[in-house]
């Protein structure tokens, strides 16, 4: 089984059997094994060890238990090494903002366990904030299943909803010893990346790869191969990585989608200047891994 890259850790047990009802009363729950992450203005409490190493601050003991008991935004994240991991959002009080960091900024410097757990917290917490009202009747909803679902408070409706992901394809298109990279105007100067787009209703992921490639660059492709995936909670995507081969190198760029797109040789990319003229995707991205794996 291929590993998901970054933002993932195989040993986290979702322990879904603990979600229903009040987890604090569950026979398998151990109050002395609580680990609680605080979310404040979409950021997490992080401890800086040194310039290259950071770690999540996990509250434990009585302090964590008291916060969990009072929390209206509690999310059970899973079990790891015998501990029960949770998160709670406390935007409604003022805290020292200097202790809180954006997950996207720090993720290369956090260990994989922290990344997996905080990624889960970020994605589900965002989903809660976007689903305060019932899409069926308009009444308010409330958190259920220890933060892993929401239910309408209107008893005549009682609609239950669950966290959703937005599947997106991201693909490296190659032709012989060159690959196709594009850039968008909003990206940092010089940044280039693989093509990508959301999967639409009624299509397979392979069809999405083919459609997005043609829509953005006019390139027809073949030999579409799935590679690996990456959780991307910014805000709620699941990136599905592919490699495909172009039938030829002709381009018809859609400038409403891209600022530019071009073919780059392996030799050029191996000696990439990584400056304001040209740089590859960030080290945390699945796009960079797709490129690096092809180069190697």
The first and second tokens of residue 247, run together, are 């039938």
Place of tokens 């009040």: 22
pLDDT at 52: 83
Residue 278, pLDDT above cutoff 70: yes
Whether 10 has a pLDDT exceeding 70, the answer reads no
What is the pairing mode between strands 166-175 and 237-246? parallel
Q: Rounded mean pLDDT of 247-260? A: 98
The pLDDT of residue 81 is 92
Is pLDDT at 3 greater than 60 in this prediction? Answer: no
- pLDDT of 85 > 70? The answer is yes
Q: What is the mean pLDDT of residues 2-17?
A: 71
Give ∠ CA 203-206-208 in degrees, rounded to 5: 55
- Mean pLDDT in residue range 13-32: 85
The proportion of the chain whose per-residue pLDDT surpasses 90, expressed as a percent, equals 70
Q: Report how far residue 137's alpha carbon sits from residue 159's, in angstroms, rounded to the nearest whole number.
A: 9
> What pLDDT score was predicted for residue 55?
92
| The pLDDT of residue 1 | 40
State residue 6's pLDDT score: 59
| 178-211 pLDDT tens trace | 999 999 999 999 999 999 999 999 999 999 999 9
53 vs 111: CA distance, rounded Å: 8
pLDDT 10s digits, 32-73: 999 999 999 899 999 988 888 889 999 998 889 888 888 889
DSSP state of 165: -
Q: Which of 243, 255, 195, 247 is nearest to 220 (CA)?
A: 247
Per-residue pLDDT at 215 exceeds 90: yes
């Amino acid at each position: 089984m291929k590993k998901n890259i970054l933002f993932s850790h195989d040993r986290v047990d979702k322990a879904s059997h603990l979600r229903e009802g009040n987890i604090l009363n569950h026979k398998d729950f151990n109050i002395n094994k609580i680990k609680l992450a605080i979310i404040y203005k979409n950021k997490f409490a992080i401890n800086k060890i040194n310039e290259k190493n950071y770690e999540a601050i996990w509250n434990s003991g009585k302090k964590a238990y008291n916060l969990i008991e009072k929390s209206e935004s509690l999310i059970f994240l899973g079990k790891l090494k015998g501990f029960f991991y949770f998160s709670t959002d406390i935007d409604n009080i003022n805290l020292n903002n200097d202790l809180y960091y954006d997950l996207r900024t720090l993720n290369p410097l956090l260990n994989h366990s922290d990344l997996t757990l905080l990624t889960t917290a970020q994605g589900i917490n965002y989903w809660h904030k976007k689903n305060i009202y019932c899409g069926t009747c308009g009444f308010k909803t409330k958190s259920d299943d220890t933060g892993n679902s929401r239910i309408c408070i209107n008893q005549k409706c009682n609609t239950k909803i669950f966290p959703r992901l937005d599947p997106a394809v991201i693909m490296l298109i190659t032709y012989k010893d060159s690959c196709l990279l594009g850039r968008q105007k909003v990206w940092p100067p010089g940044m280039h990346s693989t093509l990508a787009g959301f999967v639409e209703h009624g299509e397979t992921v392979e069809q999405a790869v083919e459609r997005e490639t043609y829509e953005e660059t006019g390139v027809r492709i073949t030999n579409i191969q799935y590679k690996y995936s990456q959780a991307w909670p910014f805000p709620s995507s699941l990136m599905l990585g592919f490699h495909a081969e172009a039938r030829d190198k002709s381009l018809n760029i859609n400038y409403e989608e891209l600022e530019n797109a071009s073919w780059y040789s392996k030799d050029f990319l191996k000696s990439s200047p990584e400056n304001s003229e040209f740089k590859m995707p960030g080290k945390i991205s699945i796009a960079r891994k797709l490129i690096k794996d092809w180069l190697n």
